[in-house]
Amino acid sequence: MDALSHSGAIMKVKLLHDPNNKRSRGPRPTTRIPIRPRRRIPPAKFAVKSDAQKQDHRYYHHQEIDFSDPNWKPKFQRDFENRFRLPHLTDIFPDAPTIPSTFCLKMRTPVTGDFADWYPSDEKWHGYINNSDRVLLKVIHYSSPTSAGAECIDPDCTWVEQWVHRAGPREEIYFKPEEVKAAIVTCGGLCPGLNDVIRQVVITLEIYGVKKIVGIPFGYRGFSDNELTEMPLSRKVVQNVHLSGGSLLGVSRGGPGISEIVDSMEERGINMLFVLGGNGTHAGANAIHNEYSIQ
């Protein structure tokens, strides 16, 4: 969860999103309506355009690969690492100061006290994640393209290791909990699990010692609509919210321009933003990140 310290000012929480599911969550009280089964649409895939298997639907990748090149495998791995590299606060502020993490899994209650001059640190607790830790993305080595569920990069199903960043708390963080005002926003359509994510973000922030946490109502529109006010969030507010469907904060599509969102965040004193949504939502989150990088 420690994208708090690893990703800088913005944490991106990506959820799968199904805008087509408009069925009711229960039968109507007096009418029985037959539900027509939904047709399963397979996910879009990208065919590798090799000379041997240009049209074979079993081989997928985002770009052309020259399999005649003996170094295609390390080139593919470098390209994968570059595409999945996570931005870090030190990319913009190389000399950003750090403090010992205020997070510990043994601590189940909010941090209390004044952190201005002293921060608790558990040096004997080996529960922190190193920034260089990686997780193997795919664990099955398919021996043939005809194996059940096989997704091969090349016609021979060559084993290629693909590594992604490991999530979790870091030993050092780049923010002082008492100076943070964190905001959470949910955008796009509804999907299962939104309230559960909101709950866990709030609880984890409190474990770090963050006390100012707010929810932005109805997506990015909440940054510009003067009739929509921030919702104060705390462990008490979100304790049982995961038992309800929908989103505690509400959702909407679209919203104001990036400059207007950034100006609103500045006026509100928000310096940590958690964005929950799909591809379009995170395109907006990336644009906010880039705008702050320029400033």
142-179 tens-digit pLDDT: 999 999 999 899 888 999 999 999 999 998 999 999 99
Q: What confidence score (pLDDT) does residue 148 get?
A: 94
201: its two tokens: 């973000």
Identity (one letter) of the amino acid at 74? P
Q: Inform me whether the pLDDT recorded for 27 exceeds 80.
A: no
Q: Inform me whether the pLDDT recorded for 118 exceeds 60.
A: no
171, with CB counted inside 10 A (0-12, 13-18, 19+), is buried
Q: Inform me whether the pLDDT recorded for 208 exceeds 80.
A: yes
Q: What confidence score (pLDDT) does residue 134 get?
A: 92
- For residue range 63-97, what is the model confidence (pLDDT) as tens digits? 578 888 999 999 999 999 988 888 888 888 899 99
CATH for 3-24+88-131+167-294, options being 3.40.718.10, 3.40.50.450, 3.10.150.10, 3.40.190.10:
3.40.50.450
Q: Which residue has the higher pLDDT, 160 or 61?
A: 160
- In this prediction, residue 35 has a pLDDT band, given cuts at 50, 70 and 90, of very low
- In this prediction, residue 233 has a pLDDT band, given cuts at 50, 70 and 90, of very high
- In this prediction, residue 12 has a pLDDT band, given cuts at 50, 70 and 90, of very low
CA distances from 129 to 4, 82, 99, 135, 272 (A): 13, 21, 15, 12, 21
Whether the CB-CB separation of 237 and 176 falls below 8 Å is answered with no
Q: Mean pLDDT, the chain, as a whole number?
A: 78
Q: Which residue has the higher pLDDT, 235 or 125?
A: 235
Least confident of 47-56, 91-100, 253-262, 277-286: 47-56
Region 34-41: mean pLDDT is 46
Of 20, 16, 63, 14, the residue nearest 41 (C-alpha): 20
How many other C-beta atoms lie within 10 A of the C-beta of residue 87?
17
171: its two tokens: 């030993």
Checking DSSP bridges between strand 212-216 and strand 231-232, what pairing results, if any? antiparallel
- Is the four-CA dihedral 228, 175, 87, 191 of positive or negative sign? negative
Region 127-151: mean pLDDT is 91
Region 194-213: mean pLDDT is 95
Region 133-144: mean pLDDT is 92
> Is this prediction's pTM over 0.95?
no
Q: Which residue has the higher pLDDT, 31 or 59?
A: 59
Q: What confidence score (pLDDT) does residue 124 get?
A: 60
Percent of the chain clearing pLDDT 90 (strictly above): 54
Q: Inform me whether the pLDDT recorded for 277 exceeds 90.
A: yes
